[in-house]
């Protein structure tokens, strides 16, 4: 009996040495042998069930993630940054929702999207930051909680998709308001905005649920195969329900490239419209009294309005727009800065995340050997939270009047109570103007 055990141990040791000294390509060649593949599967299951024991020895398999090779100093630094960004982002988005809720005249159609965006960003931070910190310090080993991977993956995807769709909806609302102020703006009613926001949350949840349920706890065997393991014995990873090999590429197009192209198109049209409005702000000659809504432009682009003969000269007549429609140069600069900032943040914070997923997919084995590559996942995840933290600043705090309401709310929270109580009328009630 002891001889048999000794022989089996020698065979096992020999197989392990074969795998340990082999390159990833050579391992895949060894795994074409059915017995070698079966051994790799069984050994991986044994290793994960006894992870505490095998962690102390060098084995040719990888842990659920290679993040355990990251130094503790790097982990402490990353954790500190995560906490700072998380706290600032949570408080900033919470204050954004509170200011819009407590100030009735700030409750415009645009601000409904902003409040919903702040809510999704806040929820993303609440779920995502603890998830990434747990993954970082547990060497990406998922806690022994049933449904942990499915629940957290669904929630993170839900809030991420909701934020992206809300940014798209906000861009579309701006596009309609500036480029089609008369023909299409009437469709943006309070009821319509409510339906759009509700539809965004429902659509993003359904798509996220479909994706999130395809995440489970998995381990990688000696052959590089990803295998489902028991609760608490693996890392959260996407397993998929079909043989479709381009799920990540499809998600890249759906959640990044398509929204980005739409946003760029809208911003291009908006900038062209603003430039056209600026060019049309030429000398106006009033017809009749000062209260008349009509005016004559001495020089007008072709086809800008009906032509009239006046004193032998052909002049173009159009209806004078309301005072809030013709934007001043200062307002133009504010809008342009906001649009440029939105584009930069969208590129800077979401592009690295998708690039990291493609790197891991196509260069996973090489990535495991690089310390910098090991930090890609937490860094790209952090950039998403940075985006969520900056959104209240970009979409809300660029408004002077919103800043006034924001500061007033802070004073109500931290300043000593002088009269014993405060009312909602203490909050500024001027509308948001970007």
- By the 10 Å C-beta count (0-12 exposed, 13-18 middle, 19+ buried), 222 is classed as buried
Tens digit of each residue's pLDDT (9 = 90 or more) over 30-71: 676 667 667 766 666 666 666 554 444 434 444 334 444 567
> What residue ranges do the domains of the chain occupy?
2-61, 68-274+330-415, 282-319
- By the 10 Å C-beta count (0-12 exposed, 13-18 middle, 19+ buried), 43 is classed as buried
Q: Which CATH number applies to 68-274+330-415?
A: 1.20.1070.10
d(CA 265, CA 16): 56
Tens digit of each residue's pLDDT (9 = 90 or more) over 297-355: 333 444 444 444 434 444 343 444 444 444 455 655 565 676 667 667 877 888 888 88
Q: Which residues pair with 287 in a beta bridge?
A: none
Q: Model confidence at 286, in pLDDT bands (50, 70, 90)?
A: very low
pLDDT at 52: 52
Mean pLDDT value across residues 169-185: 80
Q: Which two tokens stand for residue 234?
A: 């693996």
Mean pLDDT value across residues 194-205: 94
Mean pLDDT value across residues 76-82: 92
Contact 359, 367 (CB under 8 A): yes
Tens digit of each residue's pLDDT (9 = 90 or more) over 133-147: 988 888 778 888 888
Contact 99, 405 (CB under 8 A): yes
Contact 267, 171 (CB under 8 A): yes
Rounded to 5°, the CA angle 46-40-7 comes to 80
HEC profile of 210-264: HHHCCEEEEEECCCCCEEECCCCCCEEEECCCCCCCCHHHHHHHHHHHHHHHHHH
pLDDT at 199: 96
Q: Is the pLDDT of residue 90 over 70?
A: yes
Q: Model confidence at 156, in pLDDT bands (50, 70, 90)?
A: very high
């Amino acid at each position: 009996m002891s001889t048999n055990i000794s022989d089996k141990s020698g065979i096992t040791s020999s197989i392990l040495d074969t795998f340990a000294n082999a390159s990833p390509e050579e391992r895949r060649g060894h795994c074409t042998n059915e017995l070698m593949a079966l051994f790799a599967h069984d050994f991986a299951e044994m290793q994960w069930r006894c992870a505490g024991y095998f962690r102390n020895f060098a084995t040719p398999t990888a842990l659920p993630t290679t993040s355990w090779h990251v130094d503790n100093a790097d982990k402490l630094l990353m954790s500190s940054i995560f906490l700072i960004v998380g706290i600032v982002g949570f408080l900033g988005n919470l204050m954004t929702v509170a200011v819009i809720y407590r100030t009735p005249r700030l409750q415009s159609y645009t601000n409904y999207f902003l409040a919903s965006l702040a809510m999704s960003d806040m929820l993303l931070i609440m779920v995502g930051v603890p998830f990434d910190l747990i993954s970082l310090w547990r060497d990406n080993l998922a806690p022994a909680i049933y449904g942990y991977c499915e629940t957290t993956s669904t929630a993170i995807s839900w809030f991420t998709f909701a934020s992206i769709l809300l940014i798209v909806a906000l861009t579309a609302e701006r596009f309609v308001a500036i480029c089609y102020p008369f023909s299409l703006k009437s469709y943006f009613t309070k009821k319509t905005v409510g339906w759009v926001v509700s539809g965004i949350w429902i659509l993003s949840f359904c798509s996220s649920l479909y994706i999130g349920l395809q995440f489970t706890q998995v381990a990688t065997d000696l052959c590089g195969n990803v295998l489902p393991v028991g609760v608490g014995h693996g890392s959260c990873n996407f397993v998929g329900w079909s043989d479709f090999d381009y799920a990540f590429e499809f998600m890249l197009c759906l959640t990044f490239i398509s929204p980005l192209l739409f946003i760029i198109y809208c911003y291009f049209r908006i900038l062209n419209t603003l430039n056209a409005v600026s060019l049309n702000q030429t000398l106006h000659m009033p017809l009749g009294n000062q209260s008349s809504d009509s005016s004559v432009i001495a020089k007008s682009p072709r086809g800008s309005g009906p032509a009239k003969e006046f004193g032998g000269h052909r002049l173009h007549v159009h209806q004078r727009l309301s005072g809030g429609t013709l934007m001043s140069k200062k307002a133009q600069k504010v809008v342009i800065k906001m649009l440029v900032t939105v584009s930069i943040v969208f590129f800077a914070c979401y592009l690295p995340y998708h690039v990291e997923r493609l790197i891991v997919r196509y260069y996973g084995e090489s990535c495991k050997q690089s310390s910098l590559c090991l930090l890609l996942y937490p860094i790209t995840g952090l950039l998403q939270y940075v985006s969520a933290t900056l959104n209240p600043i970009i979409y809300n705090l660029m408004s002077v009047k919103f800043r006034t309401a924001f500061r007033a709310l802070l004073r109500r929270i931290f300043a000593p109570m002088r009269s014993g109580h405060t009312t909602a009328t203490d909050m500024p009630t001027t509308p948001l103007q970007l």
